[in-house]
């Protein structure tokens, strides 16, 4: 258990993860390839160019941040890729290893490049924080015990694929339903920092979630029964983190100038 403990970048939270990153990446690359063959890629070149431009900027920011923190080893094996899929779903996700999909349904809610950076920063943050592996580890610990679970993930590709797809929320109306509120809030903060480092104004994050609230409607489910923070809680937290994020944003603007 001690050997399986790692720390999440930015927040420093200790997490239990006994699934090797190489295993998660290998299986996610396979699942990603299969997903792309079963779904229609967007032919809107403007949208595709936009997603890839934002993705590459955040990728560079992540790589810079991890290098500065001597954590580049956590990016070992990453094979970044950014694609747009035709779907009305308000959805986006990032698999372990940097495989990203943005659904066309969320692009109008993003409104502009900065809004899209909020979404992609959040999704990429889940991968950087290894939330998928942590979630899969938790599932296996509950279902079979840690020792059996660690062996199972090495021997059962189908099981691992299912856990990866569930973790990132592929096939759900909102991409991150399978993550906990803790993971969601953590990805909000990491994503805010990454987007700011990429040169996107942190003030746009609360604005995006306000638009998301209008697009998806207010849930009647009490927050304590939901896997997501309420929109109001999320917006409040993002405003609370603005000062810290602005230090990264200002630094990125200085480099650009």
Alpha helices for 39-130 (secondary structure H): 45-68, 107-110, 113-128
Q: How confident is the model at residue 163 (pLDDT cuts 50, 70, 90)?
A: low
Query: pLDDT tens digits for 89-112?
Result: 999 999 999 999 999 999 999 999
Known catalytic residues are 123
Query: pLDDT tens digits for 223-247?
Result: 433 456 778 889 999 999 999 999 9
* pLDDT of 149 over the 60 cut: no
* pLDDT of 16 over the 90 cut: no
**Which has the higher per-residue pLDDT, 142 or 206?**
206
Q: Supply the range of the domain harboring residue 249.
A: 5-256
**Do the Cβ atoms of 153 and 34 come closer than 8 Å?**
no
pTM beyond cutoff 0.85: no
Burial of 205 (0-12, 13-18, 19+ CB in 10 A): buried
Question: Which pLDDT score is estimated for 225?
Answer: 38
């Amino acid at each position: 258990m001690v050997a399986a403990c790692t720390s999440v970048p930015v927040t420093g939270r200790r997490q239990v993860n006994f699934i090797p990153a190489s295993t998660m990446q290998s299986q996610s690359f396979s699942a990603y390839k299969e997903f792309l063959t079963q779904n229609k890629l967007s032919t809107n070149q403007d949208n595709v160019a936009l997603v890839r431009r934002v993705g590459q900027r955040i990728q560079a920011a992540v790589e810079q941040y991890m290098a500065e923190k001597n954590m580049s080893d956590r990016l070992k094996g990453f094979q970044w890729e950014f694609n747009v899929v035709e779907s009305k779903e308000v959805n986006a996700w990032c698999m372990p290893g940097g495989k990203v999909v943005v659904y066309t349904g969320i692009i109008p809610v993003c409104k502009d490049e900065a809004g899209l950076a909020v979404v992609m920063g959040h999704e990429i943050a889940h991968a950087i924080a290894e939330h998928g592996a942590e979630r899969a580890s938790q599932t296996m610990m509950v279902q079979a015990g840690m020792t059996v679970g660690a062996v199972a993930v090495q021997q059962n590709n189908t099981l691992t694929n299912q856990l990866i797809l569930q973790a990132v929320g592929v096939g759900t109306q909102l991409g991150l339903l399978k993550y906990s509120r803790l993971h969601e809030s953590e990805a909000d903060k990491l994503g805010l920092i990454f987007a700011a480092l990429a040169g996107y104004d942190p003030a746009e994050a609360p604005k995006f979630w306000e638009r998301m609230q209008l697009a998806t409607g207010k849930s009647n489910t009490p927050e304590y029964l939901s896997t997501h923070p309420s929109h109001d809680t999320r917006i409040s937290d993002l405003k609370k983190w603005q000062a810290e994020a602005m230090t990264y944003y200002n630094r990125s603007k200085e480099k650009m100038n």
